[in-house]
């Protein structure tokens, strides 16, 4: 994946791999900071190994993720409305996507998009979230990063 120039990229801790097994989960995150060094937008790509023979209900997974996001925002004093889960693509894979608009006292403060896709033995989640203005202003960077994915 090609992260946008100027973003702080982190490879997050993952489950330990052994000589016989690859890592079960790997995560990468890129953070866009403002002039003061405060984060205004975060993109994250997570890859999880899927057990052989395990059927993944992608819509169910995305619904649970969306519910969790909404619950977390609610507990923080925010309201959120998410659009209907709809078909999308992530790299070469068919995916499902939803975007949540987060408000506080009626003012749009954050947006978050969740995209989930399945390959033969891997599940991917690409998410990006940020302050409303930064989210809107960064759509080209987000699109370029998303289009650079080779899954």
pLDDT tens, position by position, 77-109: 999 999 999 999 999 999 999 999 999 999 999
What pLDDT was estimated at residue 14? Answer: 65
Q: State yes or no: pLDDT of 141 exceeds 60.
A: yes
Residue 18 reports pLDDT greater than 60: no
- 53-67 confidence digits (pLDDT tens): 888 999 999 999 999
Q: How far is it, in rounded angstroms, from Cα 66 to Cα 114?
A: 8
* pLDDT greater than 70 at residue 11: yes
pLDDT bracket for residue 24 (50, 70, 90): confident
Q: What is the pLDDT of residues 114-133, one digit of tens each?
A: 999 999 899 999 999 999 99
DSSP 5-57: TTPEEEEEP-PPP-SSS--SEEEEEEEEE-TTS-EEEEEEEEEEE--TTPPP-
Give the model's confidence band at 52: pLDDT under 50 very low, under 70 low, under 90 confident, else very high: confident
Domains and CATH numbers, the chain: 8-14+22-147 (3.40.1000.10)
Contact 28, 151 (CB under 8 A): no
> What pLDDT was estimated at residue 1?
83
What are the structure tokens assigned to 66, written together?
A: 């969306």
Q: What is the pLDDT at residue 54?
A: 87
Q: Is residue 12 very low, low, confident or very high in pLDDT (cuts 50, 70, 90)?
A: confident
């Amino acid at each position: 994946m090609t992260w946008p120039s100027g973003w702080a990229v982190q490879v997050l801790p993952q489950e330990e791999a052994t000589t016989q097994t690859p890592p079960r989960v790997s995560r990468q995150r890129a953070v866009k900071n403002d002039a003061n060094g405060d984060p205004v937008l975060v993109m994250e790509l997570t890859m999880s190994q899927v057990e052989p023979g395990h059927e993944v209900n992608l819509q169910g997974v995305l619904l649970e993720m969306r519910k969790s996001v909404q619950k977390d925002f609610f507990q923080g004093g925010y309201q959120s409305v998410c659009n209907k889960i709809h078909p999308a693509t992530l790299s070469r894979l068919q995916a499902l996507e939803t975007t949540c608009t987060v408000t506080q006292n009626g003012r749009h403060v954050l947006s978050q998009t969740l995209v989930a896709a399945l390959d033969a033995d891997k599940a991917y989640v690409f998410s990006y979230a940020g302050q409303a203005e930064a989210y809107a202003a960064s759509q080209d960077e987000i699109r370029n990063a998303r289009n650079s994915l080779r899954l």
